[in-house]
Amino acid sequence: MKKKQMWLLRMLCFVALGTITLEAATSITMRRYVFPVQSTGNISYGAAHHDYPATDIFCPSGSLFRAVVDGVVDHVSVEDTWVQSVNDPESRGGLSVAMIGDDGIRYYGSHLSAIAAGIVVGARVVAGQTLGYTGDTGNARVTPPHVHFGMSRPTTPEDWATRRGEVSPYPYLKLWQSADVVVPVLIAGED
Ligand SMILES: [Zn+2]
């Protein structure tokens, strides 16, 4: 009887300690993804983009360009310095916002007509928050108004060649447009 009690006590200690260790090490959070443009007008985009992976989302100027996921603002361009005769690729985006999502991906939207209030480098944003207003700045002056949407790895904020896009957003845009997407994510604990 005494031996059995000791064994039970040991087992309980083991289970309790094991549970505490696991809870301290990891927990699960929910991550929400939303479509990056909200508009009362027509939204259209195709699977193809010239030269490198990205998606041009056509929509009326003044539509909302939104954070796809929670994250931190990485880069903001508040001036349209594009000159058609020069066509410098660095200035083609016009007004733009890039953010690093909590998923580690950089999301970029350009050709904006204005940047939303409070959107500065380092600002914390949540999924669905307005980052700016769509338009036709940069080289979109010579096309119908659209948001150039890019997804890439984060490098330095000024690295325009990367932030303009490295992976096609098209399949993700289709998914997020059909409904908000929520995925469970394992996060590391304090220790
Ligand atoms: Zn584009």
Q: Give the residue extent of every domain in the chain.
A: 29-182
Q: Tell which CATH architecture fits domain 29-182.
A: Distorted Sandwich (2.70)
Give the pLDDT confidence score for residue 56 in this predicted structure. Answer: 98
* Strand pairing category for 55-58 and 64-66: unpaired
- What is the 40 CA–ligand 1 centroid distance (Å)? 22
Give the pLDDT confidence score for residue 1 in this predicted structure. Answer: 47
| Average pLDDT of the segment spanning 77-104 | 94
- pLDDT higher than threshold 90 for residue 188: no
- What is the 142 CA–ligand 1 centroid distance (Å)? 12
- What is the 73 CA–ligand 1 centroid distance (Å)? 20
On average, the pLDDT of the chain sits at: 90
- What is the 21 CA–ligand 1 centroid distance (Å)? 48
Distance between CA 149 and CA 159 in Å, rounded?
15
- What is the 31 CA–ligand 1 centroid distance (Å)? 27
54 and 164 Cβ atoms separated by less than 8 Å? yes
- What is the 149 CA–ligand 1 centroid distance (Å)? 7
98 and 163 Cβ atoms separated by less than 8 Å? yes
- pLDDT higher than threshold 50 for residue 48: yes
- pLDDT higher than threshold 80 for residue 9: no
Give the pLDDT confidence score for residue 19 in this predicted structure. Answer: 52
% of the chain with per-residue pLDDT over 90: 80
- pLDDT higher than threshold 80 for residue 18: no
| Average pLDDT of the segment spanning 145-158 | 96
Band the pLDDT of 37: cuts 50, 70, 90. Answer: very high
Give the pLDDT confidence score for residue 189 in this predicted structure. Answer: 78
Cβ-based neighbour number of residue 134 at 10 Å: 31
For residue 72, what are the contacts with CB-CB under 8 A and spacing of at least 6? 99, 100, 122, 123, 124, 125
Cα-based distances in Å from 58 to 136, 144, 161: 10, 7, 22
- What is the 63 CA–ligand 1 centroid distance (Å)? 17
